[in-house]
């Protein structure tokens, strides 16, 4: 089960990294979402990824993209996630067409489910992937992560994610609503 969970995370990372760095469909993005919030970052990686992530769009329950019903996908300000169904199986990098970005070289995608985060922050086309899980201990424990789907809210309180390449810890704080 642990290897299946890790494989699923790796597929999500691949989707997120390629989605953040290569999804330029040439469209100007017109943002009209109910997503609100900022995630404050602290830790070693902030010299590369910065100290804030401003939310642009959030979708809930996109099993076609994540393979997980009780999950949300968060993207940066200036980006949207299309309502169109993903044309390929969950985690397939060819699904990047559903992410509409104003700047394909900079941005982020965060997938949150209860007790786990998979995220990629792209800065000048360089991806920084992070993850945490509180169930299987494949990555660092998330700490305080409250995904409250019936209230359309996620709360990060000193939530920790691990850089999947270096092991550096990044701490997230903030409340996001949609």
Q: Do the beta carbons of residue 58 and residue 176 sit within 8 Å?
A: yes
pLDDT at residue number 163: 97
Please give, one letter per residue, the 3-state secondary structure of 85-112: CCCCCCCCHHHHHHEEECCCCCEEEEEE
Please count the structural domains in the chain. 1
Q: Do the beta carbons of residue 95 and residue 18 sit within 8 Å?
A: no
pLDDT at residue number 102: 85
CA angle 54, 56, 57 (to 5 degrees): 135
pLDDT at residue number 76: 95
Band (23; pLDDT cuts 50, 70, 90): very low
Average pLDDT over residues 63-75: 93
Band (33; pLDDT cuts 50, 70, 90): low
Give the Cα separation of 136 and 115 in Å (integer): 10
Give the Cα separation of 52 and 30 in Å (integer): 22
CB neighbours of residue 135 within 10 Å = 13
Give the Cα separation of 21 and 54 in Å (integer): 18
pLDDT at residue number 32: 53
Confidence check: pLDDT of 25 > 70: no
Question: What is the pLDDT of the chain when averaged over all its residues?
Answer: 84
pLDDT at residue number 30: 42
- The overall longest dimension of the chain from CA atoms, in Å, is 42
pLDDT at residue number 95: 79
Average pLDDT over residues 81-85: 90
% pLDDT > 90, the chain: 65
Give phi and psi for 93, each to the nearest 5: -60, -15
Containing 10, the helix (H) or strand (E) segment is helix 2-22
Give Cα 100 distance to the centre of its chain: 14
Confidence check: pLDDT of 3 > 80: no
| 76 or 97, greater pLDDT | 76
Average pLDDT over residues 38-61: 96
Classified as helix, coil or strand, 151 is helix
Could you tell me the residue range of the domain that residue 54 belongs to?
Answer: 2-177
Confidence check: pLDDT of 101 > 80: yes
Confidence check: pLDDT of 22 > 80: no
Average pLDDT over residues 96-113: 88
pLDDT at residue number 8: 46
Strand partners, 172: 41, 159
């Amino acid at each position: 089960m642990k290897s299946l969970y890790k494989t699923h995370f790796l597929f999500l990372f691949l989707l997120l990294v390629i989605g953040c760095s290569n999804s330029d469909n040439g469209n100007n993005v017109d943002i009209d979402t109910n997503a609100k919030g900022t995630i404050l970052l602290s830790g070693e990686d902030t010299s590369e990824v910065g100290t804030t992530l401003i939310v642009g769009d959030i979708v809930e329950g996109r099993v076609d993209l994540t393979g997980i019903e009780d999950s949300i996908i968060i993207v940066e300000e200036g980006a949207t996630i299309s309502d169109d169904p993903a044309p390929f199986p969950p985690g397939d990098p060819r699904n990047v067409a559903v992410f509409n970005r104003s700047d394909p070289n900079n941005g982020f995608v965060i997938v949150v489910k209860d007790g786990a985060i998979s995220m990629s922050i792209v800065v000048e086309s360089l991806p920084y992937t992070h993850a945490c899980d509180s169930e299987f201990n494949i990555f660092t424990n998330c700490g305080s992560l409250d995904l409250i789907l019936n209230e359309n809210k996620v709360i990060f309180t000193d939530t920790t994610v691990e850089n999947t390449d270096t092991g550096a810890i990044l701490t997230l704080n903030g409340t996001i609503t949609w």
